[in-house]
């Protein structure tokens, strides 16, 4: 069975996903695409043999579209995902699930009303080999009880449209999902610590450090630095009661020359996590072809809701210059072990 995917949003990552789904993922084809930049969407549709839909709702209703990938700007995600749920179609929504916790909760409530999970959220680190090894080491008890973690998330630069809070809602939202997943604990409070600003990005409060308190008392310190200039750098170390597990950048060639020994840093997220996006899409398509609606171990609507709730709390902490507590709704049975379908 070939899964026909409709892709909403053919910007930077949407175009990459269209290429993967049409060329590299086994068992999928791109049935339709939509973007408000209609010329770009039409050219991409022609390139991969898809239909250029007239609107995103037209794409969702298209009978050739078995499942939908949402890669539009974040503030459109909730509305588009809700339309997929109304049409009964599985949907892989790029992060964030919504830009407010209230909107993300509406998605959770719609799924609960429908009685089944249809939504997967694009936190692709759960498919990154390095992060999976960290998770496996923790789950196998190799470091004893995980107690704390240090995390670094640096981008070389960001566009002018990137404003202060986006470090929390767009960038560190990955860490919020990652550490909930690695520790299998909800994040219950955040404290954003003001740091001396980089003079190279004076319009941003950059870098920032966020302390995350988890439900069992573990603590994570996460640095966001979105104008570090030298490359894309995502690392972490989890400290346990009997050992630690650390994730470095993927191993690269060591160059010795000019009196120095050095290795390359990935230039951007597309290079660092390219294989993770591929594996994420393949796992989704395999799940759909096998009759499931969400890939095993993937972030679901609850995870998307929890991550944006933490981001929203971190924004409150940033604004108030103090600790803020995360307030989550009660977790519906649909998302707990026994209720998960």
Query: For residue 235, what are the CA distances in angstroms to 2, 123, 149, 265, 310?
Result: 37, 16, 11, 11, 20
User: Least Å distance between CB 102 and ligand NAP?
Assistant: 18
Distance separating alpha carbons of residues 47 and 70, to the nearest angstrom = 19
Query: Please, which residue, 11 or 332, has the CB nearer to ligand NAP?
Result: 11
Q: Is 11 strand, coil or helix?
A: coil
The pair of structure tokens assigned to 252 is 């690269």
Check: CB of residue 89 under 8 Å from CB of residue 67.
yes
Site string for ligand NAP, 31-70 (x = CB under 6 A): ---xxxx------------------x--------------
CB nearer to ligand NAP: pick between 17 and 117? 17
Cβ nearer to ligand NAP, comparing 122 with 130: 122
**Nearest CA to 307 among 129, 154, 212, 187?**
187
Structure tokens at 192: 């954003």
Query: Is residue 329 a contact residue for ligand NAP (CB under 6 A)?
Result: no
Contacts with ligand NAP, 117-136, as mask; x by CB under 6 A: -----x-x------------
The minimum distance between CB 64 and ligand NAP, in angstroms, equals 18
**Does the protein bind ligand NAP through residue 74 (CB under 6 A)?**
yes
Q: Which of 71, 182, 287, 314 binds ligand NAP (CB under 6 A)?
A: 71
Work out which of 51, 89, 95, 205 binds ligand NAP, going by CB under 6 A: 95
Q: Which residue is nearest to ligand NAP (CB)?
A: 11
304 belongs to the binding site for ligand NAP (CB under 6 A): no
Contact 330, 316 (CB under 8 A): no
Q: Which residues are paired to 236 by β-bridges?
A: 151, 247
Residue 179 lies near ligand NAP (rule: CB under 6 A): no
The yes or no reply on residue 73 touching ligand NAP (CB under 6 A) is yes
Instruction: Give the interface segment with ligand NAP, choosing from 6-14, 103-111, 142-150, 220-228 (CB under 6 A).
Output: 6-14
Candidates 225, 269, 302, 318; binder of ligand NAP (CB under 6 A) is 269
d(CA 189, CA 219): 10
Start-end of H helices in the chain: 12-19, 38-48, 56-61, 77-86, 101-114, 129-139, 166, 173-183, 269-272, 274-289, 301-320
The gap from C-alpha 250 to its chain's centroid, in whole angstroms, comes to 19
Task: Output 4 or 14, the one with its CB closest to ligand NAP.
Answer: 14
Would you say 6 or 14 has its CB closer to ligand NAP?
Answer: 14
Interacting span for ligand NAP (CB under 6 A) from 29-37, 43-51, 207-215, 250-258: 29-37
Sheet holding 219-225, edge to edge: 244-247, 233-240, 146-154, 219-225, 208-214, 187-194, 323-325
- Contact set with ligand NAP (CB under 6 A): 8-14, 34-37, 56, 71-74, 76, 94-95, 122, 124, 170, 269
């Amino acid at each position: 069975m070939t899964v026909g995917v409709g892709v909403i949003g053919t910007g930077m990552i949407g175009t990459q996903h269209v290429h993967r789904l049409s060329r590299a993922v086994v068992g999928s084809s791109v049935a339709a695409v939509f973007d408000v930049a209609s010329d770009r969407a039409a050219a991409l549709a022609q390139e991969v043999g898809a239909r250029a839909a007239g609107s995103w709702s037209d794409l969702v209703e298209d009978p050739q579209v078995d499942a939908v990938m949402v890669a539009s700007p974040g503030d459109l995600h909730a509305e588009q995902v809700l339309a997929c749920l109304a049409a009964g179609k599985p949907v892989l929504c790029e992060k964030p699930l919504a830009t407010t916790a209230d909107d993300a909760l509406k998605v959770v409530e719609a799924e609960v009303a429908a009685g089944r999970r249809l939504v997967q959220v694009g936190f692709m680190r759960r498919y990154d080999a390095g992060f999976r090894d960290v998770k496996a080491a923790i789950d196998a008890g190799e470091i004893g009880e995980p107690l704390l973690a240090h995390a670094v998330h640096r981008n070389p630069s960001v566009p002018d449209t990137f404003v202060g809070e986006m470090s929390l809602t767009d960038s560190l939202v990955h860490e919020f999902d990652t550490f909930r997943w690695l520790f299998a604990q909800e994040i219950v409070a955040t404290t954003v610590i003001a740091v001396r600003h980089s003079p190279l990005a004076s319009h941003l409060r950059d870098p920032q450090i966020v302390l995350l308190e988890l439900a069992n008392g573990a603590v994570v310190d996460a640095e966001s630095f979105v104008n570090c200039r030298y490359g894309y750098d995502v690392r972490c170390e989890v400290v346990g009661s009997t050992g630690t597990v650390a994730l470095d950048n993927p191993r690269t060639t060591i160059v010795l020359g000019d009196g120095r020994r050095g290795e390359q840093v990935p230039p951007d997220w597309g290079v660092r996590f390219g294989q993770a996006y591929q594996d994420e899409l393949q796992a989704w398509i395999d799940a759909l072809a096998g009759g499931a609606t969400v890939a095993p171990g993937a972030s679901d609507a609850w995870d998307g809701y929890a991550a944006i709730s933490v981001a929203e709390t971190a924004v409150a902490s940033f604004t108030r210059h103090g600790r803020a507590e995360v307030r989550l709704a009660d977790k519906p049975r649909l998302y707990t072990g026994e209720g998960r379908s």
